[in-house]
Structure 1
Amino acid sequence: MATEEHKRLADIVKGTHALLRAECNQYGAEVAWERHMARNDTLQKYATSMQKLATTYWADNNSKNGTYCRMEWIKTQCKEYFLNGGKEKYDKRERDIQAKMALKKSDDENHIFEGDDIYTEDRLINSYERRISILDVGSCYNPLSVDDAFDVTAIDLIPMIGVFRCDFLNVAIGKEKILSPDAREIHQLPVDSFDVVVFSLLLEYLPCPKQRYNCCRNAYDVLKIGGILIIVSPDSKHVGANARLMKSWRYTLSRLGFMRIKYEKLRHIHCLAFRKCACKDVATRWCDLQRFSESDKKYMSETEIFIPQDFQIICPEEKQQQLDEYNETDLASIFSELPFDNEPSI
C-alpha cells in the first residue's frame, strides 16, 4: 500500500504532466513548452519528487519484489554492447547487409560507396579501453555515475548535484561543448561525440509527437557512428497492447538512421536500444521491406513519435475547462503507465 507521502509525490509528477499536456492542447506545443520552462518552482518540485520516488519508493519496491530495475537494464546493455562483443557483432551485421544491398544494385555498383554513407573500417572503431561516454537526458539525479565503467554527462531542466542544466529539445549542437560562465549549464553539445544517449522515462514527458522526434534527431546528431540510443518507456500493460506504437517507433527511428538492436518488455516498461548506422541505407532497409496494413499506417510517421495518450479523445467540453479543474482521473491518465500507487514499481 502506498503511503501518503508516496501519493503526494506521485500527484506532483502526474499534475505536472497533466498541465503541460493540457497547455499543449490549448496553446500549441512551442508556447506550452515555453510556459513550462518558465515555471522554475514547478520544475524544482518535479525534480525533487522524481528523485525521491526513484531512490526511496521505487528502489525499495525493487528490492522487495526482485524486480529488474530500469537502470540495471541500461547499464547491462551498455556493457554488453561495448565491452562484451556486441558492437563488433553489429558492425559485422551492418557490413553484411550493406554487401547484400550492393549486390542488388549491380547496375550502379559504386552508388552505395559514394557520399556520406561510405563504409570504412575507420568509421567503426572497436576499441573501448576507455570509459563509455554517456549522455543521460532527463537524468534527474545522475544515477549512472556510480558505475566506474561510464563517463556520464547528465542533463536535465533543473540541475541536481552532478547534473547540468540543459533543455535537450532546444540545445544547440556544434563542434564543441559550450558551457555557461558558471559551468552549470550546457549551451551547446558536440556533434558525433557520445557512445550512448539515454532517454529513461523522457519521451512521454513531452506532450507533442514532433517534440519527441526532435529529441531523437538530436540524439542521432550527438552520437558517434556505431553508438546507441537507449529508450525506456513506461507501460504496465501486456506486451502486445501497444505493439503498433513500438513498431512505429522502429519505423520512425529507422528512417532517421537507427537500427533497432534490442527490445524487451519488462513488467512495467518497454526497453529498447537503437544503433546509429554508418550507412543510413542499412537502417532504412527495414522500413522498405515492411508492408503495413491500413490500420497500421496511421501510426507510421517519418517525423513524429507517438505514445498512447496521443490517441485519447478529448471532448469539446473538457477543452474549455480551466486547467486547474482537471480531476484525479484526468491527472492519473497522463502518466498512469508508471506504477506510482499500489503496484510494485520499476
Structure 2
Amino acid sequence: MICFICCRIKMRENKNDGEIKMTQKSSASDEHIKLADSIKSVHANLRQRLRDGEQFSQVWSEHLLDDQVLESYSNAMNALANQHWTKLEIESEDTSRIIWTKKKILEYYHNGGINNQLIRDNNRLKRHQEKNEQVTKVQQGKEETKQENIIEIDKSLENKTINEQLKLLDVGSCYNPFSKFKEFDVTALDIAPVYENQVYKADFLNLNITDKSEFTEREVISLESCSFDIVVFCFLLEYLPTNRPRYECCARAKQLLKENGILVILTPDSCHQQRNNSIIRGWKEALLQIGFQRVYYEKKQHFHGLVFRKLGAFQHRLALEEANLPGIAKEESNSATSDDDIADDIVTVEEVAAKFVIPQDFNSCEPNLLKKRSEAPKLEEKNGTETELGFDQLPDL
C-alpha cells in the first residue's frame, strides 16, 4: 500500500514537472515569436512605404535617423540571438546559419576549396582556347599569349593554416556572432549595433571604400578596397525593401574582397527547396554578372546558404561567355562591377538589379505583425498560393 502511494505521488510530481516544462517552453516560444514579429514589422513598414510611392533614398535616410526604431530592432535581434538561437545551435547544429557559414569558409580556405576553384578557372581557360584554336593559329604571337594566360595554381592559398586569421567583414551584424571563432579577424558593421559586442556603426550602402580603413571608437569612417577574405550577408538583403540597394550591397562586397575572396549570403526560407528556386536562380545570374561565381549552395531547413567567389576580370569575361550572360554596361555601373572589355553584350544595372527579388516583394499588402497572429490576414503571392513572411521562421534559425 505504501509503495502504491509513493508511486502515485511520484506520478503526480512527474506530471507537474512536465506541465512546468511545457509552460516554460510555451512562454519561451511566445517570447521569441514576439521578438521575431517586432523585427519583421520594421521590414514590412519599409516595404510598405515604397509601395505607397516614396523614394528609397528618402525612406532609408529617415530610417537611419529613427533612433527609437533602430534601438528597438537592435535589442530584439540581440535577445533573439543570445536567448534563443544559441540554445537551438546546441540542440541541432543543422539549424545554425553561423556554424554552416564557418564550415563552408574553412572548407574553402583550409580544405582545398579554393584550389579546386583555380583548377576550374584553368579548365575554363583551356576550353576557351580550344574553342578559338583555329583563330589563334593564324594570328601571329597568339601561341605565346595563350601560354601567358594559363593560370598557375597558387598552393599558398590552399595551405593557409588555422593560425592565419582570415579577414571577415560581417555586414548587418548587430551582435557579432563570428567573433567567437579564432580563425577570423572580424570587422562587424550594423546601422543599429550592440556596442558591447564590438560592432561598429555604419551604413554599408553609403560607406566610403578607399585605399585605407579608418575607424573611430564606435563608427567606421572608411574601409580599404580589396582587403577582405570574406564578406558575410546574414539576412541582410531581406532588410532592404527593394532590389536596387540589394544589388548595390553585392557590388560593394566585390570592391572590398580580394580576388578569389568569397561572399557568403544567407537568406531565410522555411519552404521546401523548389518553392523559391526561380528567385535563387535569378540571384545566381545577377551575382555572376557582377563578378561572382557560385562555389557552394545548400538549402537547409530554414535558410538558403550561398557562397560566391570574386573572379578576376579575364575569368569573369569567360564565365559570362560560358553562361551566355551579358555584362553590365560601363556607363550604367560603378567600378565595382565594370571590367575592361567584360563582354560584347551588355545590360543596364537596373536589369541586373531586378533579379534581386525576395518573396515579400510580390505581396501587395502586409499585416501588422504586432497584432495577434490569428488576426493577421493571409497574404497571397502572384501564383495565388499563401506565402510566408521571410522571417516567419526567424526564431528557429
* Cα drift, residue 44 of structure 1: 1.2
Tell me if 1:249 matches 2:288: no
What number of residue pairs does the alignment pair up? Answer: 323
Within the candidate set 96, 114, 125, 1:98 is matched to 125
Structure 1, unaligned runs of 5 or more? 291-299
Over 3 Å counting, the alpha-carbon distance change for 1:88 and 1:123 in structure 2 is closer
Residue from 192, 201, 216 that aligns with 1:165? 201
Describe the superposition over 1:135-190 as per-residue Cα deviations: whole angstroms up to 9, x where unpaired.
000111111011111111111112222111111111121111122xx332112111
The Cα offsets for residues 182-233 of structure 1, whole Å up to 9 and x where unpaired, read as: 3321121111110000001111010010010000000011000001100000
Name the counterpart of 1:339.
Answer: 393
Structure 2 equivalent of residue 295 of structure 1: none
Q: Structure 2 CA distance, aligned partners of 1:5 and 1:124?
A: 50
Partner of 2:46: 20
* Deviation at residue 51 of structure 1 after TM alignment: 1.3
- SS, match of residue 104 in structure 2: helix
Give, in whole Å, the separation in 1 of the partners of 2:93 and 2:182: 24
Do structure 1's residue 302 and structure 2's residue 352 form an aligned pair? yes
Distance 2:392 2:123 in 1: 40
Instruction: After TM superposition, list the pairs within 5 Å mapping 1:64-83 onto structure 2.
Output: 64=91, 67-83=94-110
Structure-to-structure mapping, 1:32-71, within 5 angstroms:
32-64=59-91, 67-71=94-98
What SS does the corresponding residue of 1:204 show, helix, strand or coil? Answer: coil
Look up the SS of the partner of 1:169 in the other structure.
helix
Matches within 5 A, 1:266-281: 266-278=300-312, 279-281=315-317
5+ residue gaps, structure 2, are 1-25, 327-349, 380-386
Q: What amino acid is aligned across from residue 68 of structure 2 in structure 1?
A: D
* Among 376, 383, 387, the residue aligned to 1:329: 376
- Over 3 Å counting, the alpha-carbon distance change for 1:276 and 1:96 in structure 2 is same
CA 1:54/1:232 → structure 2, altered by over 3 Å: closer, same or farther?
same
Corresponding residue of 2:32: 6
Pair 123,80 (structure 1): closer, same or farther in 2 beyond 3 Å: closer
Q: In the alignment, which residue of structure 1 is the partner of 2:266?
A: 232
Cα RMSD (Å): 3.2
Offset of residue 266 of structure 1? 0.5
With over 3 angstroms needed to count, the CA separation of the structure-2 counterparts of 1:196 and 1:282, relative to structure 1, is farther
Equivalent pair of 2:265/2:306 in contact (CA under 8 Å) = yes
1:48: Cα distance to partner?
1.3
Q: Percent identity?
A: 33
Offset at 1:286?
Answer: 4.8
The corresponding residue for 1:175 is 211
Counterparts of 2:153 and 2:206, CA distance in 1 = 31
Offset of 1:236 from its aligned partner? 0.6
- Check 1:276–1:123 CA distance in 2 against 1; reply closer, same or farther (3 A cut): farther
Highest CA radius of gyration, 1 or 2? 2
Q: Cα 1:144–1:3, aligned 2, differ >3 Å: closer, same or farther?
A: same
**Structure 2 residue 160 is the aligned partner of structure 1 residue 128:** yes
TM-score normalised to structure 2 length: 0.74
What is the aligned partner in structure 2 of residue 214 from structure 1? 248
Q: Does 1:283 align with 2:319?
A: yes
CA displacement at 1:49 relative to structure 2 = 0.6
**Do the aligned residues in 2 keep the contact of 1:17 with 1:335 (CA within 8 Å)?**
no
Alignment partners' CA distance in 1, 2:68 and 2:377: 22
SS of match in other structure, 2:353 = coil
